[in-house]
Amino acid sequence: MKQPLHTIFAHTFRVLTVVTGIGAFLLVVAMSFPAVLTFDIARNRDASEQTPFPVTVDPKNKLIVEDAQVNALLEGSDSPLQAAAANTSNLVGRLFTLLAVTIADAPWYKSLAAVDARFVNITPGMRKEEVASAFGHVLGWNSAQKKEFLTKGPYASLPLPEGSYAPGVYSVPGDSTPRIVQALVNDRFSAEVLARYSTSTAAIVPLNEALTIASLIEREAGGPDDMRLISGIIWNRLFLGMHLQIDATLQYVKGTTSSRSWWPTPVPSDRSRASAYNTYIHAGLPPTPIASPSVASVIAALNPKNTPCLFYFHDRDGGFHCSVTYTEHVQLLKKYYGQGK
């Protein structure tokens, strides 16, 4: 399946770079593009809507259960964790999104009377304000409309709190109101997460708790290979009553409409910021998720790696390093960064 899609993308990008003698072909591409995108979105959703999420963590007894069957499932070449991450973060997906945005923003595309679709990419790890801005930019919303999108509607089955804006590529009518888009996002989250979150799983790990941990994993992990290990470290620290001390929570506190980025680089003084989301001064989890996690991160949150590690960091090349003691952690930091504390 991958080779034909790759061929389509490569051919389409070549077409987009040619200026002379392609008018008729571009018209065909434009008219057929929404159907291609709809098929891709449906295929990705079908891949994620298979079985209820497995769960191998036991918070009540402070245990990470070793389940050989689940480990084999999540660590195999056809792992649903890898597949879920690929749906929203692989190269083909990014190229496809670039193609969608390129075509959707083209004046010749917008002028076609028969085409009224807009394509919006919501990437894993976005906070709710970023999601509203992404839709607002493409659909021409003003500030009031973005605010409306982030507010629960009278007929919404979900309040759309932080953490429930399902990542992925959305195809929406160009005149979509905040309530229409809210319903689309709501439906996707329901299909990809709620439908797979069984009552037995919720009895072990409440949904908000799982989404909160998943959001931390999403912001901290360098990729799917790190996710379960970071999850294991987070759960280990929770079991021991340790402060999580996760920098992504400082970024969440620090990010504002006036900052250059919603995820500004934290500095040491940020660790003393007064906020319930500051995991340096408050034990346990933040009150809510800090971003919208991928399905892969939700799976990792419910199925942490059994590890003795309590500390971790990524080096400049993206390599992941964890340690059992703080002394070992500092030694590794000095090895890779020349300093550490």
Per-residue pLDDT of the chain (341 residues; tens, 9 = 90+): 434 433 333 344 343 443 344 444 444 444 444 443 443 444 444 444 568 999 999 999 999 998 888 888 888 766 666 665 555 444 444 455 555 555 555 555 555 444 578 899 999 999 999 999 999 999 999 999 999 999 876 655 555 689 999 999 999 999 999 999 999 999 999 999 999 999 999 999 999 999 999 999 999 998 888 999 999 999 999 999 999 999 999 999 999 877 788 999 999 999 999 999 999 999 999 999 999 999 999 999 999 999 999 999 999 998 999 999 999 999 999 999 887 66
120 and 262 both lie in a single domain: no
* Tokens read off for 260: 């250059």
Q: What per-residue confidence (pLDDT) applies to 225?
A: 86
Q: Which of 197, 212, 206 lies closest to 162 in space, CA to CA? A: 212
Residue 127 near residue 253 (C-beta atoms within 8 A): no
Q: What per-residue confidence (pLDDT) applies to 113?
A: 40
The total domain count for the chain is 2
What backbone torsions phi and psi does residue 231 show, to the nearest 5 degrees? Answer: -60, -45
Residue 67 lies in a domain: no
CA distance 26 to 145: 33
Residue 281 near residue 271 (C-beta atoms within 8 A): yes
Determine if residue 10 is left, alpha or beta; phi over 0 gives left, psi from -120 to 50 gives alpha, anything else beta.
alpha
19 and 39 both lie in a single domain: yes
234 and 178 both lie in a single domain: no
Q: Exposed/middle/buried for 48, CB within 10 Å: 0-12, 13-18, 19+?
A: buried
Q: What per-residue confidence (pLDDT) applies to 314?
A: 93
Number of other residues whose CB lies within 10 A of the CB of residue 66: 9
234 and 322 both lie in a single domain: yes
Q: What per-residue confidence (pLDDT) applies to 323?
A: 96
Number of other residues whose CB lies within 10 A of the CB of residue 282: 15
The per-residue DSSP string of 177-200 comes to -HHHHHHHHHHHHHHHTGGG--HH
Residue 28 lies in a domain: yes
Which of 132, 161, 195 is the last residue before a domain boundary? 195
Residue 59 lies in a domain: no
Residue 76 lies in a domain: no
Give this prediction's pTM.
Answer: 0.79
Residue 305 lies in a domain: yes
93 is in which domain, residue-wise?
Answer: 2-53+81-195
48 and 6 both lie in a single domain: yes
Which of 156, 172, 195 is the last residue before a domain boundary? 195
86 and 210 both lie in a single domain: no
Residue 249 lies in a domain: yes
128 and 274 both lie in a single domain: no
